[in-house]
Structure 1
């Protein structure tokens, strides 16, 4: 099943969000707390609302009264992490999370880190906003038909051996550790750009400037 999660970070372009939802054609939509407000602004109702409901109006609570998984305000997880776990446990094979990259760096970083939960279950999962597409990988991958795209790569484990082919700044069996920014802001130059690595997980970011 294709899941789409809408969290509570800022949405700069609601036309972008609506287009993404329509293009993705998810089987199940989860609004994560304030994410229900984002969906309401583009005329879409989620299949489930998850959260402590501290950020949404009484009208929205009433709209979802039969479709709410209410969480405690004080808990050992974020609302988005709980929503991701719900998707993982309920037959997700692909997950996209919107409104998850915002001005609160702590929440953004937390959302990046929970990508590992999906990866552990062999589920493809991305964080997406107007400027970024973020994904965690456990094995080598290829970008196709993306000439000119700005990409960055980060080791999420110590000493990942990485090779980049088809990029403006190639690497050949470079020992990339998780504190090394050498692979930031590269450019795809070939129709087929390869990211080959071993020894751990790699985070990819496809980025656009405003």
Structure 2
């Protein structure tokens, strides 16, 4: 069965990576992300936000209006709406740049998803991030540039880095020391895996 994706577009920096959807996918505008989609000529299936970065779009009377004082970000609220509709794979655009606290919150979302057996991808300016828990992530030989691996849980045990310039075997990473920063692809297939714990993986596009 082909995987379906919930694509969430926020009000952050506009990147070269553009929202892409296929049959069965869900496109959600989170607050000011609506303006980016409008500029691209794309119509979201849902619009959600507290609309502190733009006025609620008059063309979307069905927009989900959130209170400004709340316990989660507009992006997280959009993600929950996607989960309610059965989506378990999420692509987040416009979720970086500007306020660093929002970028960090979106990186945390990746780990939140991984710990529920789901997957998210966050697209930044020239980089992509995801998180894995007790699992692995494979890269094709076409990948070039830098890749960094961070423990998101207190410890990440049994970490293997294969096919990279600086390999690791059965390593223990802690979330207070960046042992896995600034590794490099080498033109061969690569794999990042962790036996127990959550890893945040960031690589250049």
User: 1:198 maps to which residue?
Assistant: 195
Q: 1:146 to 1:184 in 2, by over 3 A?
A: farther
Give 1:194 deviation, angstroms: 1.8
Q: Deviations over 1:66-125 (max 9, x none)?
A: 2x1100011111111111111112110321000001121111101111223322432221
SS in 2 for 1:44: coil
Give 1:127 deviation, angstroms: 0.6
In the alignment, is the contact (CA less than 8 A) between 1:52 and 1:73 conserved in 2?
yes
User: 2:13 maps to which residue?
Assistant: 10
Write the distance in 1 (CA, Å) between the matches of 2:115 and 2:153. 15
Equivalenced residues, count = 199
Write the distance in 1 (CA, Å) between the matches of 2:80 and 2:60. 20
In the alignment, is the contact (CA less than 8 A) between 2:115 and 2:198 conserved in 1?
no
Write the distance in 2 (CA, Å) between the matches of 1:173 and 1:77. 36
Point out 4+ residue stretches in structure 1 off by more than 4 angstroms: none
User: 1:114 maps to which residue?
Assistant: 109
Write the distance in 2 (CA, Å) between the matches of 1:159 and 1:73. 35
More helix by share: 1
Give 1:150 deviation, angstroms: 1.4
Write the distance in 2 (CA, Å) between the matches of 1:93 and 1:72. 25
Q: Does 1:65 align with 2:68?
A: no
Write the distance in 2 (CA, Å) between the matches of 1:25 and 1:130. 23
Q: 1:49 to 1:72 in 2, by over 3 A?
A: same
Write the distance in 2 (CA, Å) between the matches of 1:90 and 1:50. 15
Write the distance in 2 (CA, Å) between the matches of 1:99 and 1:173. 35
User: 2:170 maps to which residue?
Assistant: 173
SS in 1 for 2:194: strand
Write the distance in 2 (CA, Å) between the matches of 1:3 and 1:46. 11
User: 2:81 maps to which residue?
Assistant: 86
Q: Does 1:104 align with 2:99?
A: yes
Q: Does 1:75 align with 2:78?
A: no
Write the distance in 2 (CA, Å) between the matches of 1:149 and 1:55. 34
SS in 1 for 2:170: strand
Write the distance in 1 (CA, Å) between the matches of 2:104 and 2:10. 14
Write the distance in 2 (CA, Å) between the matches of 1:170 and 1:120. 25
Write the distance in 1 (CA, Å) between the matches of 2:86 and 2:42. 22
5+ long unaligned stretches in structure 2 = none
In the alignment, is the contact (CA less than 8 A) between 1:168 and 1:186 conserved in 2?
yes
